[in-house]
Structure 1
Amino acid sequence: MIIFIILAVLSIGYGLMIFSVASGSKFFLFWIFLGVLFLVFAVGIHRKWYLMAPKWLLILVTAIICVGAAAFIFLAARIGKSFNSRCDEPLDSIIVLGAQVRDDGPSVVLKYRLDCAADYLRANPQTVCIVTGAKGSNEPVSEARGMADYLIAAGIDEGRIILEEKARNTAENIFYSRELLPSDGTVGIVTNNFHMYRAIGIAKKNGLGDVQGISAGSTLSFLPNNMTREVIGVVKDICCGNMVFW
């Protein structure tokens, strides 16, 4: 029982921390819900509710939890294999995937991507950059516009930057950006380490079989949140036919 109470406090506290940074996502509610679930388990153990449940139900719940945990670990490991994706060779184009833009500029997650892209573009002056992302309801400009402004301020020539301002999710980022790519050119994708596996899977589904990954970093304290979101995102995109499992 004590273990579930500790897990509940940690989960709810983590959710409140995610909420406090105003990331623009409502995924913090997942951690609040998980914390409440842990509390229910704690109360159930204390009051011995499990003695009142039929045996088949206990077996079913245990099986669901075990299968779910195993699937999560498996997918998290697949995601982790793409964490250190890099490309040292010059590419014709790179696609920088969008994330939240705030009134004061790109979010922390997006800055990681843009700084990584800027480093690559400086090292490869012939590479063209596509920045992709529409304007969300809580954003002052389109993600693509905010990204372009940041790269220009970082010294990247505006003529090397192509804006794609229709995409509202990762699948659309890749789909619409592909239309802007030169035919038969080499291409790389710049995104955060935790997001790379899904991005590459979606790119392969869209015919970019030889796409290269260029992983940007991420904030360690938010990694549990980001990894959990990605596992759910991978399941969703595989089920919807948006990506290949690789």
Structure 2
Amino acid sequence: MKRIGMLICAVLSAGSLVYANAVRTVGSGTGFFIFWVLLAVCFMLLLAAIRLDWFSKLPKRLRAVCVVCVCTFVAAFLGIEGCILNTFHAEAPPNLDYIVVLGAQVRKNGPSKVLKYRLEEARAYMKQNPDTICILSGGKGKNEPVAEAVGMSNYMVANGIDPARLKLETKSLTTAENLSNSRHLMEMDATVGIVTNNFHVFRAVQTAKRYGLRDAVGIAAPSSKKYLLNNMVREFFAEIKFLFSTLGH
């Protein structure tokens, strides 16, 4: 049994390192690949703990605290991931006044794959609802040639969307800023849908409601299956951060 546990830890550690490299090389503009490196280190420490029987050598109270902490973390993780999955296929009602496309990385050759998913979802909705106005929200990051909103607008116009139906918000650098700034580009009583990737819908709608878009609905765009695990785990920590930030409101 001990050998099986050690083997599992070794495999998970190696797998985490391989996945970390895959996430890093995709060049998504985030440093979250470091999480997978740290996870690999944790699995190696767990392997050592199993081999040297560290856990049984701990005082009973400390062991109990460790078990409670692990169980609490697992429960929180499963609960939040369940909420994220619940909005994975979110669809908006027809004839919304506005849809807001949340920005993501723009490269020299155009929107990243993640952003293209969002733009294609927005384009499909606009074709079905010809009176809906689209707000493209996103500023210019350090590793981007233009503001995300500008890159998105270029893509939408090149793919048949009337520029008159587009509004650009070019200052925001976070989801909170996306939604706070976009709110000022629409009427107070406007109906609005938030277009983002499926793993991001749950937190995006929560954020929209915090900033006054109380009737906002999510519109889920697809995402890359290869990096879905990374995105889901990252969203867990982002949601924890969001929940703690609400304590000050």
TM-score between both structures, scaled by the size of structure 2: 0.94
2:37 to 26, 32, 38: 32
Root-mean-square deviation (CA, aligned residues, Å) is 1.6
Q: Displacement, 1:30? A: 0.2
SS in 1 for 2:246: coil
Distance 1:193 1:111 in 2: 13
Q: Which residue of 1 aligns with 2:246?
A: 241
Q: Displacement, 1:125? A: 1.5
Instruction: Establish whether residue 21 from structure 1 lines up as the match of residue 29 from structure 2.
Output: no
CA 1:66–1:195: 2 relative to 1, 3 Å = same
User: What is the letter of the counterpart of residue 38 of structure 2?
Assistant: F
1:183 to 188, 191, 195: 188
SS in 2 for 1:210: coil
Q: Displacement, 1:242? A: 8.8
Q: Displacement, 1:55? A: 2.4
User: What is the letter of the counterpart of residue 32 of structure 2?
Assistant: F
Instruction: Establish whether residue 200 from structure 1 lines up as the match of residue 213 from structure 2.
Output: no
User: What is the letter of the counterpart of residue 5 of structure 1?
Assistant: A
User: What is the letter of the counterpart of residue 233 of structure 2?
Assistant: T
Distance 1:105 1:130 in 2: 18
Q: Which residue of 2 aligns with 1:113?
A: 118
1:52 to 57, 66, 89: 57
SS in 2 for 1:240: helix
TM-score between both structures, scaled by the size of structure 1: 0.95
Q: Which residue of 2 aligns with 1:42?
A: 47
2:68 to 57, 60, 63: 63
Kindly report which structure 2 residues correspond to 1:94-243, keeping only aligned pairs within 5 A, or say none. Answer: 94-241=99-246
Unaligned runs of 5+ in 2: 1-5
Give percent identity, aligned residues only.
44
Distance 2:106 2:144 in 1: 6
Unaligned runs of 5+ in 1: none
Q: Displacement, 1:182? A: 2.2
Q: Displacement, 1:92? A: 1.0
User: What is the letter of the counterpart of residue 215 of structure 1?
Assistant: A
Bigger mean CA deviation after superposition, 111-120 or 45-54: 45-54
Query: Which runs of at least 4 in structure 1 moved beyond 4 Å after TM superposition?
Result: none
Q: Report if aligned partners of 1:191, 1:214 keep a CA contact under 8 Å in 2.
A: yes
